[in-house]
Structure 1
C-alpha cells in the first residue's frame, strides 16, 4: 500500500481477479500521477485481487517492463486478496473489468461504506472495456493497457476534484 498512511483525504482500491497485472498497473499509474501533481500525501492507494491464486507473489515481468517504459520504476508490489475491511477502509473500490464489479457486489459485506465503480467508465476516448493482456505474449497490449489506464486515472482524478 502506498500514499498517505494516516489522515488521508481520499482513498482508492483498485481490483482485478489476480492482482498481478491489471489492478497493480492502475495502482502504479495512479500513484505516479499523484506524485507528479504533488498530491501523493493526500491519498491512500492500494490494489488487491478477488481471488487468492497468486497471494504473496510479485508483478508479472511484462508489467514491470511496461511500467519502466513509461518512467514508472520505483513501484513494488506483493499480491494480496481483498478483505472485508477494505469495503470499510476505502472510499471507493475501482474494478478493472465489468465481471469484477459483479463479483465485488456479490462479496460486499454488510456495513460496507465503499463505493464501487469500474475504471473504464472514466475513459473519454475509448469504451469502458479494459482487456486483460495477461494471456497474450504481445507486449504491445500491455502498452495499450497502460495508455488506457492513464487516461482513466486522469479523468477519475478530475472527477474527484469537482
Structure 2
C-alpha cells in the first residue's frame, strides 16, 4: 500500500495565496505522476470566506498558466492537525495562529511550516496580494512554483 502524504496550505481567508499554492502543488504532483500519493487541500485560519471561490485575479493568474481549480474556502479544523502531515502557511501571522491552534489539539501530528522556507530565492514570506494588482498575484504564483517544486522534491 502506498503511503499518502498530506499537505494543507493555509492563510487567513483562503481566497488568494493558499488556493494558488494548492493548485500549483496539485498540478506539479499530477505532472510528476505522484498525485495519487498525496492529499492536497487548503484552508483558512478564519471563517470569513467559507464557501467562497478564490479571488478572480488569482483564478485569472492560474488560468494564464494553464491551471484550473474548483476550490472553495474553508476553515481549519482540529482534524486537520491530526490527519495532515504538513501544514504550510504563507506568513508569520498564519504560522503563529496555526501553532496556537495545534497546541490545543491532542494528537496533533502536522508539521507546521512557512511555505517560503522552501524558496530557493530565500523569500520567506509570501506576501498577500489582495490589496494589490494582477502582478502581485503573478509574484505569488511564481514564488509558489519555486517553493512547491522544492517541497515536492524533498518529499518524493
Q: Do these two structures clear the TM 0.5 threshold for a shared fold by scoring above it?
A: yes
Identify the TM-score tier after normalising by the shorter chain.
over 0.9
Q: Say what the alpha-carbon RMSD is for the aligned residues.
A: 1.3
2:136 and 2:70 mapped to 1: Cα distance? 21
| Residue correspondence of structure 1 range 58-69 to structure 2 within 5 A | 58-69=53-64
Change in 2 beyond 3 A, CA 1:67/1:8: farther
Q: Deviations over 1:26-84 (max 9, x none)?
A: 000000001111111111000000000011111110011000011102x1111100000
For residue 126 of structure 1, report the CA deviation from its aligned partner.
3.6
CA contact (8 A) 1:8 1:41 kept: no
In the alignment, is residue 91 of structure 1 matched against residue 67 of structure 2? no
In the alignment, is residue 70 of structure 1 matched against residue 42 of structure 2? no
For residue 7 of structure 1, report the CA deviation from its aligned partner.
6.2
**Unmatched segments (≥5 aa) in structure 2:** none
Q: Deviations over 1:98-141 (max 9, x none)?
A: 111111111111220111111000001142011111111x1011
| TM-score, reference length from structure 1 | 0.91
| TM-score, reference length from structure 2 | 0.94
Structure 1 runs of 4+ aligned residues shifted over 4 Å read: none
- Tell me which of 107, 112, 117 is aligned to 1:116: 112
2:48 and 2:101 mapped to 1: Cα distance? 17
For residue 8 of structure 1, report the CA deviation from its aligned partner.
5.4
Give the aligned partner of residue 51 of structure 1: 46
1:23 and 1:7 mapped to 2: Cα distance? 26
| Residue correspondence of structure 1 range 19-30 to structure 2 within 5 A | 19-30=14-25
Aligned length: 154
**Unmatched segments (≥5 aa) in structure 1:** 1-5
In the alignment, is residue 18 of structure 1 matched against residue 13 of structure 2? yes
1:8 and 1:63 mapped to 2: Cα distance? 32
